Structure 1
């Protein structure tokens, strides 16, 4: 059995599901976590892999994080890689934004990774080669109109990643982030996907983000921390 154990949030679909498949193929035992319990269970069942465990998890709940990590430890041992991938995309103009919509984006996109990192520290401290990867966004590199809630929460996650990397470096825990651009996932509706594909030639595929995550949690990135790996097909280069 592998001693590499990954916990991946937002794993029911899109990038998260691809990350689970990629890390499993790389020899990790993987806890696939999501609040969409039925969809998650169905996806994990399709994999027919004893090394992948479905765990229901609301990333905004400290209690559920604690329970999830206990479940994973009982099944696989301590987590060696944490992938904070869960996120919500919420668009609204400043005039139409609501306090509830704004706060929910921050709770999932920034509070969730903070709670996960805090909860996983006891695991990560006791293993060699421990790594955390946070899924940010090109929305945390350039300002997009009508993205006040989403964009600001991802900018905050970008800062949290850097601070966490600096604080945990002396412990040998690496912390990096991926910044996906336009990726073909259910997060983007068909009209948005069509518009972005026309602009950029094609959309990125979830496995292309998963490949970046797999690199950052691997021994090949053993001397890399605090890095921001952009996976956007040149999106940021086209913005003036």
Structure 2
């Protein structure tokens, strides 16, 4: 264990079978937490939890657009580990297309997973945390929610909405001891981003002053900061983790 910033805490993380979500789970466990991983892919999330260790991790199949699924995910954490101290709303999808070619279905799918999913996770986790008198909710936005990207009117709108949602929720639950913050990653090296065409990757890289893509654990470390008492006087904030892109 590298430290004990989350000793005795339980974290629920959506979209946690791979990528940034899984990196956050690993970092939280290394910091003393128990984790419950949620993901649409039942086999992948079960495998991820088993790899992390059955004593500290559980995997639950969950669709974040379903209130029942999100409630069941949170209940699984309470039943297994006794509390929900940290909620990370990380699940997401892309359905990229130009504004002219994007279908209503593509727009609705992205808004539903990102924005509705984050709203449900924030709402239902906050209900538990208010009763506890403490808790940290971390919502994954994107630098696309600040500047917009070509072909991502759905994604950019959802990610911008997550920032506003987080700020509004933070105002409501702060008197109850619950904090709500968001992270805006830039270009992070994951299976999804590495599948980009080389010219698209190179174009994004050219915009980064630090000259490299970020790694999933670099987002996880910021999530750890927001989850822990190191950020005890922070709520309603947006932390950009971009290597300086779009300063």
TM-score, normalised by the number of residues in structure 2: 0.91
Once residues 199 and 225 of structure 1 are traced to their aligned partners in structure 2, the CA distance between those partners, rounded to angstroms, is 29
Aligned length: 237
Select 2:26's aligned residue among 21, 24, 34: 21
Select 2:231's aligned residue among 183, 201, 221: 221
Q: Is the 8 A contact 1:179 1:231 kept in 2?
A: yes
> Within the alignment, does 1:95 sit opposite 2:100 as a pair?
yes
Once residues 49 and 26 of structure 1 are traced to their aligned partners in structure 2, the CA distance between those partners, rounded to angstroms, is 16
Deviations 1:126-177 (A, max 9, x none): 3354110000000111122211110011111111011011111111110000
> Within the alignment, does 1:230 sit opposite 2:235 as a pair?
no
Pairing 1:162-201 to 2, within 5 Å after superposition:
162-188=167-193, 189-191=195-197, 192-197=200-205, 199-200=207-208, 201=211
Once residues 123 and 225 of structure 1 are traced to their aligned partners in structure 2, the CA distance between those partners, rounded to angstroms, is 18
1:91 Cα shift?
Answer: 1.3
What's the C-alpha RMSD, in Å, of the aligned pairs? 1.6
Once residues 120 and 202 of structure 1 are traced to their aligned partners in structure 2, the CA distance between those partners, rounded to angstroms, is 35
> Within the alignment, does 1:8 sit opposite 2:13 as a pair?
yes
TM-score, normalised by the number of residues in structure 1: 0.94
- Unaligned ranges ≥5, structure 2: 1-5
Q: Is the 8 A contact 2:138 2:227 kept in 1?
A: yes
Residue 115 of structure 2: aligned partner: 110
After TM superposition, the structure 1 stretch with the greater mean CA deviation from structure 2, 209-218 or 82-91, is 82-91
Q: Is the 8 A contact 1:36 1:56 kept in 2?
A: yes
Q: 1:193 to 1:13 in 2, by over 3 A?
A: farther
> Within the alignment, does 1:153 sit opposite 2:161 as a pair?
no
Tell me the SS of whatever aligns to 1:202.
coil
Once residues 6 and 193 of structure 1 are traced to their aligned partners in structure 2, the CA distance between those partners, rounded to angstroms, is 33
Once residues 191 and 114 of structure 2 are traced to their aligned partners in structure 1, the CA distance between those partners, rounded to angstroms, is 17
Once residues 45 and 12 of structure 1 are traced to their aligned partners in structure 2, the CA distance between those partners, rounded to angstroms, is 11
